[in-house]
Amino acid sequence: MKRHFLILAIAMVAVFSAAAQSGSTTLSMLGDQPPTDSDLVHNCRHLSLDVDANGFFLDAEYATPFAKGYSVAGFRLSPTLVYGINERAQLSVGLNASAFAGLDSLYRLRPTLSLLYKPTRWLTLVAGTLYGSHTHRLDAPVYDPSRWIFNYQEDGLQILTRTNRWCSDTWLDWTHYLTPWTPDQERFTMGTKHTLLIFNNKMNYIARDPEEGHIAKSVIRGWEITLPAHFLASHRGGEVKTIDTNTVTTFNECIGLHAYYLWGNNIQSKYHLLAFDLPFYFYHLEDRTLDHGGNALYPTVAYEYHRLNPDERRGWSLRAVAGYWHGDHYFSAMGSPQFWSANAYSALHIPPTTTLAEATDIRNIVTFSIAYEHQFKGLNLGLQADFYHDMDLGKTDLLVGFYMRFKERFILF
């Protein structure tokens, strides 16, 4: 029984510390995970109703001239019927309905259709609605966290792999279909992210508790170092072109080093995590005559504390992340505007929201983020505040978000 408890506790740590892994500076509760082998076996030949309900509020106070501030409060409901075809495949049909406070109609209503096939333990194939958004675990300079609110759903094809030393996510998100013989544009995004484990000495051992005398406790402690790398291409274009519908493809690459030290008590389910990231980012266009490339460096240090109660499916975590961004003519079509440079997005004909007279293509930003998550039985609450201080302009962007998420599966038959 004790062994089972320790395994469950370690698994809970892996879930709660997802935000500390390379490629994510957002709340871990906002991510989605594909079913495991045991999930597929348990749901085989069963029809289930998955309910995913999300309430959110985001206040973006932009002071720098790269984006216009806004506030949004809303709700998203995603009911899905899931049928287990066999022990390796499942079919899902549902919808995503998003409503923003202050609108007289739905902000967005889209159907969801997906077929998942898991031929082996380490490989998962998805066709239709993808495990996208924060599940890709991309950094904010490449993937804007607010897309979870405005562009949550992704549709296309996806290949997921997970082994003891290598994890990857490769996907095609087709955003807009090109109707033949129209001056329209197709739009899609292709991405692949890989994480290679290069060092891991985490282990469990029995230690004496000095406060309890002879009573022993089980402790987990150790380092893990990984090498993350990803490639992202965002394309818009088509066979029919006009002056206003030029074909543009932007590319973003990232490679870096991620390390963290984990220590905690498995019996009391208390865990600490100290993480270090050193990523390098690159940007360029397919047509170099439209714009030249750019690059950036973004070292960060993070601390997390988790307190879990696996038996009651409850717990809470606190995370703080500090970093320094140095960008030279950097841009990402999917990334957060806080990290854009002044003229890097001119090739996409994105008009500046305010004057850029003060701005330059070189940006030096000090960043700080603090986040709190609380997990109840089936319900997660999250609060996050992000600060971005532009050292050259002497201005600070502030983003504050509050999130509630309920996820549950109901077996119909």
- Over residues 375-386, the pLDDT tens digits come to 988 799 999 999
In a 10 Å sphere around its CB, with 0-12 CB exposed, 13-18 middle and 19+ buried, how is residue 182 labelled? exposed
Question: What average pLDDT does range 323-351 have in this prediction?
Answer: 82
Q: What is the pLDDT of residue 20?
A: 45
Question: Angle CA(348)–CA(337)–CA(304) in degrees, nearest 5?
Answer: 145
Residue in the block written with tokens 């739009």: 187
Between 28 and 14, whose confidence is greater?
A: 28
- Residue 243's pLDDT is 47
Among 27-31, 35-39, 58-62, 356-360, name the one with the lowest average pLDDT.
Answer: 356-360
Note whether 117 and 123 are within 8 A (CB). Answer: no
Best CA proximity match to 226, nearest among 149, 137, 304: 137
Question: What is the Cα–Cα distance from 323 to 396, expressed in whole angstroms?
Answer: 14
More confident residue, 265 or 136: 136
pLDDT exceeds 60 at position 357: no
Which of 17-26, 58-67, 118-127, 323-332 comes out lowest in average pLDDT? 17-26
H or E stretch covering 13: helix 2-16
Domain positions in the chain are 2-411
What's the CA gap between 93 and 112, in Å, rounded? 6
Interval 385-403: pLDDT, tens? 999 999 998 999 999 999 9
Q: How far is CA 250 from CA 102, 220, 247, 334, in A?
A: 34, 43, 10, 10
Q: Which fold has domain 2-411?
A: Porin (2.40.160)
* Cβ atoms within 10 Å, residue 11: 11
Q: How many Å apart are CA 281 and CA 202, to the nearest integer?
A: 29
| pLDDT tens digits along 259-287 | 999 998 877 688 899 999 999 999 988 87
Site of tokens 């995370």: 319
Across 296-324, b (16+ Cβ under 10 Å) vs e yields: bebbbebebebbbebeeeebbbebebebe
First to last CA, the chain: 31
Confidence tier at 368 by pLDDT (50, 70, 90): very high
Contacts of 17 (CB under 8 A, 6+ apart): 28, 262, 271, 273, 304, 306
